[in-house]
Structure 1
Amino acid sequence: MKTGDLKHDLASTTAQDGALAARLASARKHAAIVLRVERLWPALQPTAGLLGLYCLAGLLRLPQHLPDGLRLVVVAGWLSLCGWRLQRDLSALRPPSRYAVDRRIERASGLRNQPLATLTDKPAGTVDDDTLSLWQAHQQRILASLGTLRAGWPNLLPTTAYRRAAAGALLLALVSAGIVAGPTAPGRILAAFIPGRDDPNVPMPHVEAWITPPAYAPDAPVFLGNGRTAPSVPEGARLTAIVTGLSTHPVVHGANGMVLKDEARQRLDAGNWKLEVTLDHTGVIRLAGRGRTLAQWPVTVLPDSAPTAKWGPNPGAGKGDWRTRLPYEAAHAYGLASLSVQLHLVHPGRGPARTLTVPLPLSGHPKSVKGVVSPDLSEDPWAGEDVTGRVVAQSISGHEGKSQSVTFRLGARVFHSPVARAVLDLRKRYALERESRSGTATDLAALGETPGPINDHTGMFLNLTSIVAMLVNADISNETARTGAVGLMWDLALDIEDRRNGDDASSQASIDARAAQAAVAQQLRHMREDGKQDQQAREELEERLKALKNAIARKMQALAAQALRDHTAIPDLPGLSRAGDKAFSKLMKQLQNDAANGRSGDALERLQQMEDATERMRNATPQDMAALARQMVAQQKAREQAAALKDLTSKQTSLLDHAQSRLDELLRAQARQQNALEDDGGDGDQDYGSMSTSELLRKLGLPVPPGTDQQDGPPGGAPPHPGQPSPTQQEPSAQTMIDPAKAEEQAAARRTDRATQHALERALDELKDEFKELTGKTPPAFDDARKSMKDARTALSDGEDSAAATAQEKALEALRKGRQQMQDAMKGDGKSSAPSFIPGFGSSGDGDGQQGQGSASSGDDGSTPSDDTDESDEQDQQKGKRDPLGRRLGEGGDQTPDDGTHVPDNVARQRAREIEQELRRRDSDRTRPQQELDYLDRLLKPF
């Protein structure tokens, strides 16, 4: 009878009997599970033993000593053995029978006489209804008497003594090995089962790692240490790791947001590896090898932002300007690679979109740049149109930044010829596709048939005919025809404009000048892009500059000839040619120096100045030539006045030298008398520290500068009384007796100098009046110089050379200031003058030459104000470089002439050494007057 049938029958009898049957079914289910576990565990014990043996070997680090390949074979073989034995033991298992399940319940529940067998048993023999009822009643009594039914716990102990002993020994060995291994035990077991993995007891490989910044960053490499601090590196930096002592290749991972790319691995030799990877985001770098973390470093990656670019104030062309002003600013943390301006039409035509790119000059790779360029964009068909522009900056790291768009107008050249303007208008309409190709050809043909300069000149007519033929030729593509026709129409318009007032020679000179300027600009561009300033490149630039110079010279000759034909008053045509040649030569020399030194921006600026000058030549009118003539007259007068001032200054310096020579003679006489007195009555043991510097100088026979006695005195001594004259200021008769003949000679010299000084006063008055007539201004310093000259003349009358020298020094200083004031006044006049086509004339020059700057040239040699400026600057550099007596400074040589040879004795030498030591001590005392220290420095320098 099945359990389900019995349960059904019993449940149908009473509810109590049904509950007992359910409890019995649950107990049998649990007992079946326990029996399965008791049978399964013995089947797993051999496999567990095999695995335990291998773990024991792993704890003893036996497999780890095998090569990775052999270890893989051992692990695979051992696991295969375990799998085979497990499969064999599991396949031998049989499910527990009903009899075994009931016997397990009976043993666990303590039931006797196998009562559960009665529940499944049947009566023997023939069974009638009474017998069956009696049997069922017996089963119910048995079921009711069962009580609590248990299945018990599985018995997992080995069934045999041999197995118990083997399991105990294995467990004891594992525990002992685990205790010996300590915290490294799990790592040893993993390393035993995973080939290519080292256990924790294997020494760590040696790791050297550093981060190399990208090429655009000037930073030094960052060496990675213990990884506690996070270094900051630019985006795109390259990590390099050298791993020594690792048999298999290492692996690098990114964590906490780190982004790695472009990984490269290289085996250097056995056990040595090199890894490289690019860092793109902040995070942690983890270097692993053979199952272990070799190193990890937190790294902060600084993002490389795009460069900043913006416009400066007032971009675009002003009213009447033919150049387009492009002010710009750009910056990047690591440097700029290129800079340009991108332009687009505000109102484009119907043709394809076009971008006009204007490159901006850069010297090297600056981190920030700010400047203004004024390129000539008048040749472009967009000239005179409104455009939107952006400054585009490209960093050396490859990022691009753009400024905000601004709208301005492109500069356009001024054309006076109506025919030239008509050609340009037609050219613009065709280039912007506001006029069709056939319509442009028809209009050009009609323009050629109209009486005028094109019809009268064969060359221009043939040029126009070739343009029309290009436009009507169907075999030429639209783009090719547009490009060619636009360029030819520009040349035609320039030719028409050049021949408006000039002849063939003037027109050809203009064409040659434009071609030479384009050649120079192309060479400068090649030198900047290639970064070459070698001898060959400089020679090529020099040849092209020579061609440009010759073309400009021919253009100036043509202008001069035109002026003669127009009866324009130019007083000195040869002087005009020489002045222009000299000015352009200087500008070209500066251009060559800038290009040779890599200053491409400055070189292009010089070239623009020459282009501006030639453009003004092209537009020169008779009124411009007359204005140039007036400028030349004013320049000539300015040169003459500068020469007069230089001559006056030179003569004033001579008077100062005369007074100083007389003072030197007096001082030498004083020194000789003092030495004679000391030789007669001196004891040689004087305290030189208590003497003044002037007394020490007299003992050495050296001249004493004026003012030294006032500035220096003996330590602790009182300065001279203000009303008491110093020894150098007293009359000669009060200090020393000089030869009467010499005294008479000096007196005659004073009278001569006094007369000369009076003449210089009158000359200064005349110069002041002439300058006021020329500029309407009077240098204030001239009045100071006039007063000082008068004081010097009075001192000479009184025979006081020291006072005269002081007044003459003041006069020279005032003359130098007056010269500078003259230059400033002439510069102010130049700002309001009209532009000239000769650099240095007018306000449009390069700033090197301005009107009225002093020069010694007479004007006949074609000198320019630029030359005057250079000479003036040299004189300014020498200003103030004089000793206390007003003489030019030397290098410390003896300035006292010696008429004879004197060999000092031992006492004199000893005294001289002591005095020298005292002078050196005073020279090291920086608290003394600066004038005295300078004098002592020059005095002691040769020693």
Structure 2
Amino acid sequence: MVWERGARAFWPLAAILCALFAAFALGGVAAVPEAALPWVALLALLAVVATAIRGGLRYRRVRASEAVERLDRTLPGRPLAALADRAALGGEGALWRAHLAQMQARASAARAVRPDADLARRDPFALRLASLVALVMALIFGGGAQIGQGIGAIAATVGRPLAGGEVASGPGWEGWAEPPAYTRRPTIYLNALDSGQVLELPKGSAVTFRLYGDGATVTQDIGAVIAEDAQAPGFRAERSGRIAVGDRRFEVTVLPDAPPAIRAGAAPTRRADGRMIQDFEAEDDHGIAAGRARIVLNLASVDRRFGLKPAPEPRDPVDLDLPLPRGGDRREVSGQIVEDLARHPWANLPVSLTLEAVDGIDQTGRSAPFHTILPGRRFFDPRAAALIELRRDLLWSRENAGRSAEILRAITWRPDGFIDRTLYLQLRGAVGQLESGPLSDEARDRLGEALWKAAILLEDGGLSDALERMRQAQEKLSEAIRNGASPDEIQRLMDQLKEATDAYTRMLAEQGQQDPADRFTENQPGQRITSDQIQQMMDEIQRLMNEGRMAEAQQLLEQFNRMMENLQVTQGEGGEGQEGSQGNQQMNRLADTLREQQRLSDDAFRDMQEQFGQGQFGQDGTEDRAPGAGDLADRQRGLREQLGQQRGMLPGQGSEPGDSARRQLDEAGRAMEDAERALREGDTGGALQRQADAIEAMREGMRSLSDMMGQQRGQADEGQQGQDGQEGQEPGGEAGRTAQDGTSRDRRPMLDPLGRQMDGNGNMITMGNPLAEGIDPARRARDLLDEIRRRSGQRDRPQDERDYLDRLLDRF
């Protein structure tokens, strides 16, 4: 009843106060003309006073008897009043006592009365609700600065005449300091600074003012003027100094912008397809704006013999743009330059490489130039290598035209059975063009392109066409997945990809038999993989698409594309050679995944510390923030999917160490899934525990894989010693190490303490005899597991059988 009477009496006052607060917080005072502002403020004050007086007059204190009466009206028979009655006639006999007992029973059922101020009838226009909505909007979108400005504007009107002539006002001004955009710092409003506060600005900041009236002037000694307008002066902050405007003084400290620093990684490496890969790292206090790599010929290091003896024709340096992130923090950038320079005239010649980084004010940082060999494609066919050398000599200097024509004549002498007829005609045409007279730049470049294509045809035969068909099939399938094509269309494109891949691997195998030498760069890190494993990857892509998991299928397809572009063919050696190389590669991949999991666990721990206000700080004093929970969960999911793919490629199925490694990786995968769920639910502590379990399980799996590889190496050593004993050994030499021809017989790779191969031997594919190799155990296990899943999903089977199949699935 107190609330009801208070709401009825004071709801107009509450509505007016809410509306006034919203007007102040949302900047409504600024919309009122200055001349009308005193009148509006006076009316608002009168309204507040009037409604407060009205509420005070209408409010009446609640008495106890009124409360009892209000409660009694809600009960049948008014039992509270009846219990206070006295019998007028007949005394308090049994009938009266029964009546009181009945009233007491009714009174005991009394409940608190729900309040009802009946404001809907008293406020038919819902003004109270409108003011409440305005209050909520002000609390969400309003600010304390607007309230202060509104109060200041009203206070400024105190003492001014409410009517009459012009109001005299002194000089006024506003000022802003805008740091350069690349620093990503906010603009500073100078009027809001405290008196005596030092103004710290990055070099190149724009300081602008707007003056009101004729009495204010700006003086400064910090930089050049950028705006000549007397009412809106501006200048650039280039050095520390002082700014004076009106009666205010600002001490300015200009923060110098250090030039960017950039450095290159190791010497550029050559990919299997001839592309150059160069690592780099760059940093700047505000961020890298652009960067490039400049490559110039190191003429002093060139072996000036044969076709390189004449003076080279001048060529412009090669400028390559550095790949930089489109968004985010560019203060520390690391990446790789991947560029195909195999056709450049300087390919496989000494060059000097210099990296440059530019910041937002065009300051340039350069790395120390280092000398290296510009990576380019290597050719192993003698005829192709000769054509590439002729092309290099011709692009080096047109003085080599006569010499190149003579060598081409030698290459095309007696072409039957040696050079294809079409290619022979093309090369004879090149001879005629070389001997016809001086070459123009366009003719030289066309001839160089023709020699390149001829060398590719000799080196690869139809391999380049097969590779191009496979790439086109991959691109079509990827595009269909991204655009949500129909299942029939995706299946058709998948069949085309399988056909193109089979043709490519078959041609690779044929060329591997004809030329057992390495076809790509030696010591290129990669993996040894069998044709069955290629088929397994394609089957996995097919399965993911059939299940509608297009994102995972797209990711695995991209990984398959990269692998197929870097394959190398050798004769299949079978047995330990394949399993050992694959085991080394899987050990390396598992080690990388383990390191990524440890980094993720560290980031999650820092994120938990920040939640409790214990965030760590880096060496430069800035807070080392960990990513958000959603980002951490996405990273955890990526690691789990990566581990699942690695488990599918794990060798040694059927052996005790191999099965143990798979079980440990399954446990790690389940722990990763639990950690991902905990991260999404905000349980960082639980996620850390499950991440620790995943790390321990991965370590146990790697130990099992290392034991398996050790057993395989021991078996290989026994076989190698027996074979070497039959072939003979050098007197006094170590058994099984050196053959009679003096060549090394020890083919075991150098291993690190974890059993991983340290020296790379190129990306390889082995096309062995399937009858000799037998049925692939991994393929067989996969088929069995698919059959178990199929049968467990058939509801017409007996319950006992399905329970048994479920137990098998849980175990394996």
TM-score normalised by L of structure 1? 0.38
Higher RCO (C-alpha 8 Å, min separation 6) = 2
Q: Specify the structure having the higher radius of gyration (Cα).
A: 1
TM-score normalised by L of structure 2? 0.43
